[in-house]
Amino acid sequence: MCSERTELRRYIMNYHKTHSIDAGDDIELDDNDFFNINGAVDMNINDALQEYTQLSDVVSINAILDKVYQVGTIKQQYMFMCLLRGMDFERIGNIFGISDKAVRVQINKLLDVLLGD
């Protein structure tokens, strides 16, 4: 159980390093470009694989977020979003007017519920 919580925490704490929470720009594609299989592709295979991995991570984090919204308190939900944005426990504590230790307690409670304990 402890290792599952550790892995989930690591995933959440590192999410911001490879993913942006902000809405990104959509790529404008003309219908002719979209359905043209003979044209050159602007993306190499490594970029395509990285994009696929990021999309898989987004699906995973969305599933976690759904559960956070179902079981977490409003305060825990906001703390969770702060973690996804890369804030540390001390910064989150300053925002909520509590100690970093109290933030850890709240996040651990949330993770325990997410993991089914």
SS (H, E, C) the chain: CHHHHHHHHHHHHHHHHHCCCCCCCCCCCCHHHHCCCCCCCCCCHHHHHHHHHHHHHHHHHHHHHHHHHHHCCHHHHHHHHHHHCCCCHHHHHHHHCCCHHHHHHHHHHHHHHHCCC
31-to-27, 28, 36, 39, 97 alpha-carbon distances in Å? 12, 10, 8, 13, 52
Q: Give the type of residue at 31.
A: D
Which residues have a Cβ under 8 Å from the Cβ of 88 and sit 6 or more positions away? 100
Question: Do residues 19 and 57 touch, judged by C-beta distance below 8 A?
Answer: yes
| Predicted confidence (pLDDT) per residue in 65-116, tens digit | 899 999 999 999 999 999 888 899 999 999 999 999 999 999 999 988 988 8
pTM over 0.75: no
Instruction: Express each pLDDT in 51-68 by its tens digit.
Output: 655 556 667 788 888 999
